[in-house]
Amino acid sequence: MADQKTPQQQRREQPEPYEGSHPVPKLVLTIIGALFIWAVYYIFTTYNNMPPELGDDRIAADFAVSTTVDGAQLYTAHCVACHQATGKGIPGVFPPLDGSEWVIGDPAVTARIVLHGIKGPLTVKGAKYDGEMPHFKETFSDAELAAVLTHIRSSFGNSAPAVDAALVKKEREATKDHPDHWNGDEELQPMLKE
């Protein structure tokens, strides 16, 4: 009668499992023990105690980090979206760097352009462009800017001489009071004639 008082849901449930008199089977314990003994044996038989004096023939200089600035890498990170990997730009939108009078001409003018950027109409290789180039005066150090300028002046079919950090520093100092972007041809054309 007590059984009839127990709700049907409880009568349907199985009892909670318990170990009681049913411990882990000896076969399972034997397999685990054998695997442990094999693992210890494997570690001791395959351990290669190589003397450190053999080494791998590297010296401290092999681990030195290069301090040379890579202009191509900086160009790829900051300039390739507009001027493209080929340096040909996008016709009517972004001017080309290959054969551009602004790139292969006076390196001081090129440095000024990259330092302060350009807004407004600019003529490049006889074609008119009317856009905006951002300034990089806060982005690049003198050495980084020199590396980028050297890269664009010696790539894409250009063969202009390299630019050094001293020139960039001089131009940065000379134009530090320039408030904003260069106003395209209006401000840059007179610089070509200097």
- What is the model's pLDDT at position 190? 83
3-state SS, one letter per residue, for the chain: CHHHHCCHHHHHCCCCCCCCCCCCCHHHHHHHHHHHHHHHHHHHHHCCCCCCCCCCCCCHHHHCCCCCCCHHHHHHHHCHHHHCCCCCCECCCECCCCCCHHHHCCHHHHHHHHHHCEEEEEEECCEEEEEEECCCCCCCCHHHHHHHHHHHHHCCCCCCCCCCHHHHHHHHHHCCCCCCCEEHHHHHHHHHCC
The pLDDT value given to residue 183: 86
Q: Looking at domain 71-192, what is its CATH homologous superfamily?
A: Cytochrome c-like domain (1.10.760.10)
The C-alpha torsion from 98 through 102 and 105 to 110, rounded to 10°, is -110
Q: Which two tokens stand for residue 107?
A: 């390196």
CA 129, CA 113: separation in Å to the nearest integer? Answer: 15
Which pLDDT score, from 0 to 100, does residue 6 have? 73
Give the model's pLDDT for residue 58.
75
pLDDT attached to residue 152? 92
Q: Which pLDDT value is given to residue 148?
A: 93
Q: Which residues of the chain have pLDDT under 50?
A: 1
The span from the first CA to the last CA of the chain, in angstroms, equals 114
Are 164 and 146 a contacting pair, CB within 8 Å?
yes
Could you state, in order of their start, the residue ranges of all structural domains in the chain? 71-192
User: What pLDDT, on a 0 to 100 scale, did the predictor assign at position 39?
Assistant: 95
Q: What is the pLDDT of residues 163-186, one digit of tens each?
A: 999 999 998 898 888 878 888 888
State residue 167's pLDDT score: 92
Q: Residue 122 and residue 95: Cα distance in Å, rounded?
A: 9
